[in-house]
């Protein structure tokens, strides 16, 4: 590993050890100091961001991607306010998950503790640099950040502002680190830093997440890819189904909890599909449908196998007619990403069956897929949506950025072949 990478990784490791035992109050004070500093240095941050924007525009980057990259003073103020909101959230560290007094008199507790050093690899928006750092600090973790090279000037400025703000607090400034370098090699170093980094969280598109999962020697919490489905059951309220489908797809199509496929039971396809095609077209959505979908209207693009696997993140949606709830579930299991899948039905039996069979991080009944979100679930800010099954699943708020340790307290308890002995 390069000297530059080892320097920041060791600094994060040392800072994590100092940060872990801190109570809530100094962490909250540090976060508020960070928020104040971001606002105070907004002009400098925006100037650094302008370098990234100019570079992106010279490289022919689309205006949509440039908008994701751009910071102005209003956006910096919003980022600062988000940090204050994290400061207001409950601190998960030290929470007793469960506890009991054992028959032998030992007092047993399982408590939440920080993970340690969290490496985060992400794309696009530089606001993620601050959001991720704030969540890590609040949960007692050091953050080792590797944003996209397109935002390197912005991220460098943001991390410098945060580190300088932490200098005057009890939280070590080394708890926020930016992985140096613009090349793919710096990403590989982070993925190979087992022993220095406790967990990696990738945030971005499918190719980024798959690359990290397949190449990393550091444990990974997989997040983000959302091929979400809306299934309209034979016993659905079709007016309700139409509203849920359009909201799931078109309310904000570029996010991971937007619907990318809708499935319709054949018994209601004749009544529902023409209405769905018209409503989606009015919302600007292109439907990539199978032959049975296309039979009910015009303007349907023939769906390919790849379309059903796709996370479009655009005003496009795949569609198919299915013969049963079980066929819908089979489709979801084959093509879905285990993020969020919804059923619209008036049948309690069908709802229970769907919930039991669909193995996703979130399952919605008669509701939009767009609700899978930490803030909507009442958790506050989140670092992403976990689609794997170990440790954390679904919206990852502050508790999901902790592990646990077991603490047991005795009075000189000894374990012997005859059982427990307590001297005296």
- The predicted pLDDT at position 209 comes to 86
Cβ-contact 401, 380 below 8 angstroms: no
- The predicted pLDDT at position 5 comes to 95
By DSSP bridging, strand 228-232 and strand 259-265 are parallel
pLDDT-based confidence at 18, cuts 50/70/90? very high
Residues 87-121 as b/e (b if ≥16 CB within 10 A, e otherwise) read bebebbbeeeeeeeeeeeeeeeeebbbbbbbbbbb
Cβ-contact 288, 303 below 8 angstroms: yes
pLDDT, tens digit (0-9, with 9 covering 90-100), for 313-369: 899 999 999 999 999 999 999 999 999 999 999 999 999 999 999 999 999 999 999
Cβ-contact 311, 206 below 8 angstroms: yes
pLDDT, tens digit (0-9, with 9 covering 90-100), for 368-389: 999 999 888 988 788 889 988 8
- The predicted pLDDT at position 60 comes to 93
Delineate the domains of the chain, giving CATH numbers in brackets: 3-223+383-407 (3.40.605.10), 228-371 (3.40.309.10)
pLDDT-based confidence at 277, cuts 50/70/90? very high
- The predicted pLDDT at position 123 comes to 85
| Tokens 């996209």 belong to residue | 148
- The predicted pLDDT at position 235 comes to 97
pLDDT-based confidence at 184, cuts 50/70/90? confident
Burial status of residue 237 (CB atoms within 10 A of its CB: 0-12, 13-18, 19 or more): middle
* pLDDT at position 197 over 90: yes
């Amino acid at each position: 590993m390069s000297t530059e990478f080892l320097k920041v990784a060791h600094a994060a490791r040392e800072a994590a050890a100092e940060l872990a035992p801190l109570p809530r109050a100094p962490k909250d004070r540090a976060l508020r100091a960070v928020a104040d500093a971001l606002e105070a240095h907004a002009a400098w941050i925006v100037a650094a961001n302008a370098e990234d924007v100019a570079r992106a525009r010279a490289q022919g980057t689309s205006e949509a991607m440039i908008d994701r990259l751009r910071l102005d003073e209003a956006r910096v103020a919003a980022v600062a306010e988000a940090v204050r909101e994290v400061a207001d959230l409950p601190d998960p560290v030290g929470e007793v998950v469960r506890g009991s007094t054992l028959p032998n008199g030992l007092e047993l507790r399982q408590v939440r503790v920080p993970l340690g050093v969290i490496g985060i690899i992400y794309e696009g928006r530089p606001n993620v640099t601050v959001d991720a750092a704030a969540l890590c600090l609040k949960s007692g973790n050091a953050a080792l950040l590797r944003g996209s090279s397109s935002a390197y000037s912005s991220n460098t400025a943001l991390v410098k502002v945060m580190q300088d703000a932490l200098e005057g607090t009890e939280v070590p400034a080394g708890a926020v680190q930016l992985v140096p370098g613009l090349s793919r090699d710096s990403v590989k170093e982070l993925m190979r830093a087992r022993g220095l980094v406790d967990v990696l969280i990738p945030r971005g598109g499918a190719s980024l997440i798959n690359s990290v999962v397949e190449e990393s020697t550091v444990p990974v919490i997989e997040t983000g890819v959302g091929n979400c489905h809306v299934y309209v059951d034979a016993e659905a309220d079709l007016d309700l189904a139409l509203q849920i489908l359009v909201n799931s797809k078109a309310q904000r199509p570029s996010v991971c909890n937007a619907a990318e496929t809708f499935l319709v039971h054949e018994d209601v396809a004749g009544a529902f599909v023409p209405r769905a095609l018209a409503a989606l077209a009015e919302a600007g959505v292109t439907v990539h449908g199978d032959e049975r979908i296309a039979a009910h209207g015009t303007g349907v693009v023939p769906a390919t196998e790849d379309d059903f696997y796709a996370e479009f993140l655009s005003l496009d949606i795949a569609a198919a007619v299915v013969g049963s709830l079980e066929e819908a579930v089979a489709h979801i299991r084959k093509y879905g990403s285990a993020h969020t899948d919804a059923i619209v039905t008036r049948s309690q039996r069908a709802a229970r069956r769907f919930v039991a069979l669909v193995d996703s991080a979130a399952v919605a009944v008669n509701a939009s897929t767009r609700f899978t979100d930490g803030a909507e679930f009442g958790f506050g800010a989140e670092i992403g949506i976990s689609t794997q099954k170990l440790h954390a699943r679904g919206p990852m708020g502050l508790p999901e950025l902790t592990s646990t340790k077991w603490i047991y307290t005795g009075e000189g308890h000894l374990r012997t072949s005859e059982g427990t002995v307590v001297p005296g």
